């Protein structure tokens, strides 16, 4: 999970709310309109192609709109269904049958005996209680570290202390969103192994290790104006100071 920068509401969405009584309109009715597609696409663009929770790349057939505060909490006074600041783009959580290739199916769908949901499918109708981290409210610093042995995601205790986020909030978020389901751990450990091998292959014994990591970060992250690679935070962690130097160069904000 990383911080997400939110853009302004799409024009079509604004027009829809002005035309209709947005306080009484439901998400179900909104999804039947053309403005729905503009909302979905803008969310994906804002997040630069990644699921707001697990950071898998969002496939056209494996994405949904997540409401951080559940739609069940909507009232006549506050309609969370159509609250732009309440929306995130998510993967479908690995539990649905979707039309994707066999290779993508292995990445995206949890298989027995590890058939466990993640992201919005794991969160379901849970009402955030202050412990669950909201990607829209995170700092730009990396809050997570990883195991190079099995891809497990963990709190980075030093960073958490630096920004004042309780470690137990990070742990709660990981657990509630199922961020350590086996298929996600498999994806992360594969990326860690790939980059570790690349670092070894490109190390000529002369180049500064941090400079090498910065070069690889530049190749993988680019100028920050396009989609991020899947599991951005995992890559950021393995490239360490080199990644941070590159992100500073491109004025990374989310």
Mean pLDDT (whole number) for 42-68: 96
Q: 133 near 170, Cβ under 8 Å?
A: yes
Rounded distance between C-alpha atoms, residue 170 and residue 50, angstroms: 19
Beta bridge partners of 50: 57
Of 32, 12, 133, 33, nearest to 84 (Cα)?
12
Query: Residues 144-155: pLDDT tens digits?
Result: 999 999 999 999
Structure tokens at 125: 């109708």
Helices first, then strands: H and E counts in the chain: 10, 4
CA distances in angstroms from 168 to 3, 172, 176, listed in the order given: 18, 6, 12
Taking all residues of the chain, what is their mean pLDDT, rounded to a whole number? Answer: 94
Q: What is the pLDDT of residue 102?
A: 80
Residues 193 and 225: their CA atoms lie apart, in Å, by 27
């Amino acid at each position: 999970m990383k911080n997400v920068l939110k853009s302004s509401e799409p024009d079509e969405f604004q027009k829809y709310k002005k035309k209709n009584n947005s306080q009484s309109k439901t998400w179900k009715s909104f999804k039947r309109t053309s403005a729905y597609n503009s909302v979905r696409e803008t969310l994906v663009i804002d997040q630069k192609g990644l699921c707001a929770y697990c950071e898998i790349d969002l496939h056209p057939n494996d994405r949904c709109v997540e409401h951080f505060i559940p739609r069940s909490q909507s009232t006549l006074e506050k309609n969370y269904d159509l609250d732009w600041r309440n929306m995130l783009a998510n993967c479908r959580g690995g539990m649905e049958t979707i039309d994707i290739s066999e290779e993508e199916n292995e990445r995206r769908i949890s298989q027995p005996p590890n058939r466990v949901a993640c992201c919005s499918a794991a969160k379901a109708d849970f009402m955030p209680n202050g412990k669950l981290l909201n990607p829209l409210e995170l700092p730009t610093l990396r809050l997570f570290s990883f195991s190079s042995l099995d891809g497990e995601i963990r709190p980075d205790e030093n960073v958490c202390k630096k920004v004042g986020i309780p470690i137990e909030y990070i742990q709660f978020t990981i657990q509630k969103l199922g961020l350590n389901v086996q298929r996600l751990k498999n994806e992360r450990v594969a990326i860690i192994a790939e980059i570790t091998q690349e670092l070894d292959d490109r190390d000529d014994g002369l180049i500064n290790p941090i400079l090498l990591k910065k070069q690889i970060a530049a190749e993988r992250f680019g100028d920050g104006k396009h989609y991020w690679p899947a599991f951005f935070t995992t890559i950021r962690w393995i490239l360490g100071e080199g990644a941070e130097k590159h992100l500073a160069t491109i004025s990374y904000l989310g």
